[in-house]
Amino acid sequence: METAGLAAAGMEMEAAGTAEAGTAAGATAANAPDKEASSSLAYAIDIGMLDLENAEFYVTPGGFTALKYAGKDYKRIALRRALPIGHPMEYISVADKDNKEIGMIRSLCDLSEKQYGIVVAELDNRYYSPLVYEVKSVKDKLGYVYLELVIGRDDRKYKKSCAVKDVNKNIRMLDDDRLAIFDVDGNRYIVPSLTGLDKKSLKRLEPYLF
């Protein structure tokens, strides 16, 4: 499942302590010796974690994720990952339909099974990055790189063609083994493991891995 894949990838990144995750993980590590300062900062500034005991996520008849919290019924909420690359299942911001933050969830593991399912489904709907299973062809055309990919989500695979402009910026390594491809329309595709790709696909992508 996509979710599990992302979660696993997130954990791998933490362990690797790589570039992007490093920013988040690094910040935590850097703060560690100064525990007193960080705790006093946390005391001074309320991050606004949700009291999950009193939070109830549910799906409205209209198809939206909603939340009952502190006596209020928020009919359409937005869930956003604070650190989508390094910690996709932690620090989730919950905002109302006017984008005003209601609070944050420190870790999805703190939710009950049912609540976890609703929140994760909403996050999966908001963050759409199909995985790349195969690279059929890569062509340089007029300054664009035109890719034919086999992509998918939840093990359903299909072919997709996309054009990428400015490859330096839009084909980028997320860590030592993961790659993100951003096409001209704004779609994003993730190669979960470069080493896991077949040899031909890897060879086709190689000129763009920097």
Partner 1 sequence: MLKSYDFQYDLDLAMQPAKGTLSFDETGRILSRIGDKTLLALPAKEIAEVSVIPGVGCGLLFARRDDDSEILLCRFTMSSMKAAGEFCKVVNFYAQTKQYVIPDQKEKPVCEKCGRPLVEGMSVCLFCYNKISVLKRALELLRPFAGKIIPAELFLALSSVMYLLVPLFSRILIDEYLRPMKGTFRQILLLAGAMLLARTVGELIFILSSRVFNEASIRYANHLRNLAYEKIQKLSLNSLSKRTPGDLIRRVMEDTTTVKNFISDGGRWAVEQIIIFGIVLVILLFTDFRLTLLVFLPVPVVCLVLSRFWRFIHIRYERQWRKNSKCQSILHDIIKGIRTVKSFGKEEMEIKKFSNATRELAQISSDNESVWACLFPTMTFFTGIGEFLVLYYGGNKILNGTLTFGVLVQFTMYITYIYAPLRWFVSFPRWLADALTGMVKIFEILDEEPDITSLPEPKNVPVAGRVSFENVSFGYKSYEPVLRDINLAIRPGEMIGIVGRSGAGKSTMINLLMRLYDPNRGRIIINGTDIRDMSPEHLHENIGVVFQDTFLFAGSIYDNIAYAKPGATIEEVIAAAKAANAHDFIMRTADGYNTIIGENGHSISGGERQRLAIARAIIKNPSILILDEATSSLDVETESVIQDSLSRIVRGRTTIAIAHRLSTLRSAHRLIVLDEGRIAEMGTHVELLRKKGIYYRLVMAQRQTSRIAENN
Binding residues for partner 1, rule: CB under 8 A, are 60, 62-64, 75-76, 78, 84, 124-129, 139-144, 146, 153-154, 156, 158, 161, 163, 165, 168, 183-188, 206-207, 210
Strand, helix or coil for residue 153: strand
φ, ψ for residue 108, nearest 5 deg: -65, -20
Give Cα separations from 199 to 40, 105, 133, 173, 206 (angstroms). Answer: 52, 41, 12, 18, 10
What's the min distance (Å) between Cβ of 4 and partner 1?
Answer: 15
What's the min distance (Å) between Cβ of 129 and partner 1?
Answer: 5
Residue 78 or 102: which CB sits closer to partner 1? 78
Chain-centre distance for alpha carbon 43: 28
What's the min distance (Å) between Cβ of 187 and partner 1?
Answer: 5
Residue 115 or 129: which CB sits closer to partner 1? 129
Give Cα separations from 192 to 5, 67, 102, 121, 153 (angstroms). Answer: 8, 32, 32, 20, 12
Residue 54 or 137: which CB sits closer to partner 1? 137
What's the min distance (Å) between Cβ of 145 and partner 1?
Answer: 10
φ, ψ for residue 86, nearest 5 deg: -85, -35
Residue 20's contacts (CB-CB under 8 Å, 6 or more residues apart) are 13, 85, 86, 174, 175
**Hey, what amino acid is at 158?**
Y
Residue 52 or 77: which CB sits closer to partner 1? 77
Q: Enter the tokens of residue 98.
A: 């006017």
Residue 114 or 126: which CB sits closer to partner 1? 126
Residue 75's contacts (CB-CB under 8 Å, 6 or more residues apart) are 60, 64, 66, 97
What's the min distance (Å) between Cβ of 103 and partner 1?
Answer: 20
What's the min distance (Å) between Cβ of 154 and partner 1?
Answer: 7
Residue 19 or 104: which CB sits closer to partner 1? 19
